[in-house]
Amino acid sequence: MADIRPFCMPKWGIEMTEGTVAEWMVKEGEAFSRGQVICLIETDKITNEVEAEYDAVLKRVLVPASDQPQPVGALLGVFTDPATTDAEVDAFVAAFKPAETGVAAKATSTDAAPAAAAAPEPAPATAPEPRKIVTNRPISPEALKLAEANGVDIEPIQGSGRGGRITYQDVVQAMRPEPVYTPKGPAELPAETRAVFASPLAARLAAQYGIDLSTLTGTGPRGRISKADVLGAVKPAAPEAGPAPAFGAPFVAVANTPVVQPFDKVRKVVARRLTEAKQTIPHFYLRVSARVDELVALRKTANMVMGTKASINDYLVKAVAMALVRHPDVNVQVAADAVHSFPHADVAIAVASPKGLVTPIVRQADRMHIAQIAATTRALIDKAQAGRLSFDDMDGGTFSISNLGMFGIEEFDAIINPPQGAILAVGGINRVATETADGDIAFEGQIRLSLSVDHRAIDGAAGAGFLQTLKALIEAPESLFS
């Protein structure tokens, strides 16, 4: 009997209900090998490279690349061995029923579906003798079981979970052999390229554009170099300069035809969420100004002492986190009929990415040092701009910060990011004339802060108390190091 396996829309995270096939990297009827990228699947704001876990042939593509979302568990394609006939595939597709869980691919985003029920189960390989592992490192129970069953040394594994926790996916990744790249087309991969930890697609692009992968910093899982990393290093060709219009040439009217660009999937999601937030959440706004001359001076000195490049926004994240802990009635998420308060501040930062506005989260920022916050935000911004944010990077959050000061915006009001209860809009630093204690006029740097609050859960006095504490922390920045 032919070995036929379904490839279904995977499920990443409990909230994912659908995904979009952005691009097939393997053509119908083409063979692929383990570790090769099969396709790219987009969720609301994340693009995942799906890698093969075994050698097979993409016998049938049932859902071509498009912008039409498919539900979790939908049959996207059929994998077979080379000898499988079209009639056998037709019969398999006609009889296929999605699993109740809707998960036909492992949650690691690099797996194809398990064998169909009609296909014979391969004989299990003899498992190595389980070895008890004793460690003080944070590791999930399932990851520990897998490591013990397969004799995996967990010490060199870099945990990708919260707080460096080793996840099941980390152990699976450590068990994989070195990938064998099989580039297609005229591009040839040099030997040094094969030694770099990069996706097959990234390796092929690097060879075609003449880019040395060893000079790139990977933004993928465990530092893997992705397609976006390579394309980011490609220098665009300079546009050809056209002839300058002659001075005094007569004006010629041309049709002012608009360029129609439909919303992509991400923009549709952003539009829907912002519309719902504005229509269903009763916003009210509180505004205040804070002196920042001492903060600017302290940042310059602290960066030199600590050897970091912390931005003003990093200091604001720290100040907001400390203020939230002191005002837990603002550090909340709002459900349909309940308010969820949290002991620590998970601060989301608004970042403009190629896929639209995203809000990755600095978790437990109140427990972090400024240097740690700076490193975390820099990593999140780099991942956002490369389109590599994961579900865990954006899931949750108790408060958001949107900073447009770097664009010269003096003041604005932001829309609350549900289920959070508030968001802080930060403007730029302006020189303002103020009266000194002895009656003279002096200039000082001030920053405008606007707090958007969900009135269902947070009262005006609570919001005002939070802003008062935040203003005091910004104007006395030494307290941010306490």
Cα(51)–Cα(399) distance, rounded to whole angstroms? Answer: 35
Percent helix, strand, coil in the chain (nearest 5)?
30, 20, 50
Q: What is the DSSP string of 27-50?
A: -TT-EE-TT-EEEEEE-SS-EEEE
Residue among 405, 398, 400, 427 at smallest CA distance from 416? 400
Q: Which of 393, 390, 391, 388 is nearest to 376 (CA)?
A: 393
Sole residue written with tokens 């087309």:
185
> What sign has the CA pseudo-torsion 273, 275, 279, 281?
positive
Instruction: Given the residues 327, 344, 369, 455, select the one marked as catalytic.
Output: 455
- Asked about 455 being catalytic, the answer comes back as yes
Q: C-alpha 279: how far from its chain's center? A: 27
Output the CA angle 457-459-460, nearest 5 degrees.
145
Task: Give the Cα separation of 174 and 159 in Å (integer).
Answer: 11
Other beta carbons within 10 Å of 251: 4
Enumerate residues 6+ apart whose C-beta is below 8 A from 192: 212, 213, 214
Cα separation, 401 vs 186, whole angstroms: 48
Query: Tokens 């490369």 — which residue?
Result: 386
Q: Which two tokens stand for residue 460?
A: 């005006």
State phi, psi for 380 to the nearest 5 degrees: -65, -40
Distance CA 259, CA 265 (A): 19
| Gap between the Cα atoms of 72 and 65, Å rounded | 16
Question: What's the CA angle centered on 292, arms 287 and 293, to 5 degrees?
Answer: 155
Torsion of CA 457, 459, 465, 467, to 10 degrees: 70
Cα 165 to Cα 137: distance, rounded to the nearest angstrom: 7
List helix spans (H) across 248-387: 265-280, 293-306, 312-326, 370-385
Q: Are 78 and 47 contacting, i.e. CB atoms less than 8 angstroms apart? A: no
Q: Which two tokens stand for residue 319?
A: 């100040």
User: So which residues are the catalytic ones?
Assistant: 455
